[in-house]
A and B are shown apart, each in its own frame.
Chain A
Amino acid sequence: MSATGEIAPSRDASRAQLEYLLRLGDTSLVLAQRLGEWIGHAPAIEEDLGLANTALDLLGQARLLLAYAGEVEGRGRGEDDLAFLREEAEYRNATLAEMPNGDFGDTIVRQLLIDAYQVPLYERLAGSRDPRLAEIAAKALKESRYHLRYSAGWVVRLGDGTEESHTRVQASLERLWPYTLELFDADEIDRGVLASGVGPDLAAVQGEWSARIDAVLAEATLARPAAPRYRWYGKQGRHSEHLGHLLAEMQHLPRIHPGARW
């Protein structure tokens, strides 16, 4: 093998690591921004606090992940540069995270679908061969378990609630379900981080996610929707029409006042 042939795999590995960190960080960041939109608008103050606190945890996770991604990238970009100065197509979040809040039922179903994914994901990442990612994941895991308890509790209450809440939350589930496929659909980057011991086997994460979701849906008397027939690739930078609007709001201030401090 030639000298360049020996260098190439490690360059690929570090590119996969960077892309993967952006996927994790962006998913938490975008979901945090969505949850933040509820502040002052939730149906009750307890839920206002619950959604805001979840957003805060996710934002903290995103900061740790994006700060690390900036270091891996090695171009001097920090967490703020990555959060506020990248365009839509440079974002690597799962499409599910950018789905609009809709009503409280839509938000809480979206949250359940992501919490039930982040828990088994972070459980595995806590044992990642990348020690920095492992410690971020171990910290995030504790928070995600708490989030899952909250979102699962609400899905059960709404699903097994009134006829109206049941019908509406079942409709939320049908609407959001197609976006879950992307979470487990391993592409080149996912296979790269799996091979290097940095990332998890997504099939195993999916197995656990599926079992958890089925258990919650059973208790909530909700029906599991049919397998999705189409796929999204937000993690490759191909997003729904919703992300651009979210970023416009999130990035507005840092872009009109570059470098501002207060």
Chain B
Amino acid sequence: MVNAGGVDVVRETPSTRVARARAVLETVPDPEIPVLSVVDLGIVRDVDALADGSLRVGLSPTYSGCPATATIREDVAAALERAGLGPVRVVDVLSPAWSSDWISEEGRRKLLEYGIAPPTRVDAPRLPVACPRCGSVDTERLSEFGSTPCKALYRCRACQEPFDRFKCL
């Protein structure tokens, strides 16, 4: 049997479906920080291929009130359905609560390249914050809050540039 995505769903094993779904999720961008995928962001908790042929994806919201959460949920379902992996059910996984420590190494590198200082580990919040442009650690926090719930606003004293920093949560 071949489904809408042209994939033979009968011959595909659950583990192959899950692996394929994970690969698709690596291409779904965060709507606010599009260089990061939802996998880089560390919000994909689990992917299960259910016996009825549907897919269940557990996502952890970053912040309780993050307006991007609903968009991410829709984007994830749409991308998986386009890849012929539907029907998809996306569920919220609140516990354990998401932590910025879950952002992947790859994600941290991408943030830095994009001009956002990645978060330090939550248990080491006092480490200096390096400017993503010039690398100087002579930086100061301008505001605890930035343009999205997940960021704070900083300034580099060396190159004078303001920059966003991913909050440690």
**Which among B64, B143, B167 is the interface contact of A140 at CB below 8 angstroms?**
B64
Q: Which residues of chain A from 104 to 133 have any CB-CB distance to chain B below 8 Å in the complex?
A: 131
- The answer to whether A50 touches B144, judged by C-beta atoms less than 8 angstroms apart, is yes
- Interface size grouping (class) on chain B: 20 to 34
| Chain B interface SS verdict (over half) | loop
Chain A residue nearest in CB terms to B146: A49
Chain A residue numbers with a CB within 8 Å of B169 are 142-143, 146
A residues neighboring B (CB under 8 Å): 32, 46-47, 49-50, 52-61, 63-64, 131, 134-136, 138-143, 146, 149-150, 153
Shortest distance between the CB of A175 and any CB in chain B (Å): 25
Chain A residue numbers with a CB within 8 Å of B95 are 131, 134-135, 138-139
Q: Which of B63, B64, B66, B143 has the most C-beta atoms of chain A within 10 angstroms of its own C-beta?
A: B64
Tally of A-B Cβ pairs under 8 angstroms: 73
Q: Does B31 contact A (CB under 8 A)?
A: no
Chain A residue numbers with a CB within 8 Å of B146 are 49
Q: In the bound complex, what is the Cα–Cα distance between A141 and B145 (angstroms)?
A: 17
Q: Does B65 contact A (CB under 8 A)?
A: yes
New contact pairs (13) apart from A49-B147, A50-B143, A60-B65, CB-CB < 8 Å: A50-B144, A52-B145, A53-B145, A59-B64, A60-B64, A61-B65, A64-B64, A135-B94, A142-B97, A142-B169, A143-B63, A146-B169, A150-B144
- The answer to whether B97 touches A56, judged by C-beta atoms less than 8 angstroms apart, is no
Q: In the bound complex, what is the Cα–Cα distance between A54 and B143 (angstroms)?
A: 13
Contact A50-B65, Cβ < 8 Å, known A134-B95, A139-B94, A142-B169: no
Chain A residue nearest in CB terms to B63: A57
**Which among A58, A138, A141 is the interface contact of B65 at CB below 8 angstroms?**
A58
Shortest distance between the CB of B99 and any CB in chain A (Å): 8
Chain A residue numbers with a CB within 8 Å of B97 are 135, 138-139, 141-142
Q: Does B14 contact A (CB under 8 A)?
A: no
- The answer to whether A56 touches B94, judged by C-beta atoms less than 8 angstroms apart, is no
- The answer to whether A138 touches B145, judged by C-beta atoms less than 8 angstroms apart, is no
- The answer to whether A150 touches B145, judged by C-beta atoms less than 8 angstroms apart, is yes
Chain B residue numbers with a CB within 8 Å of A142 are 97, 99, 169
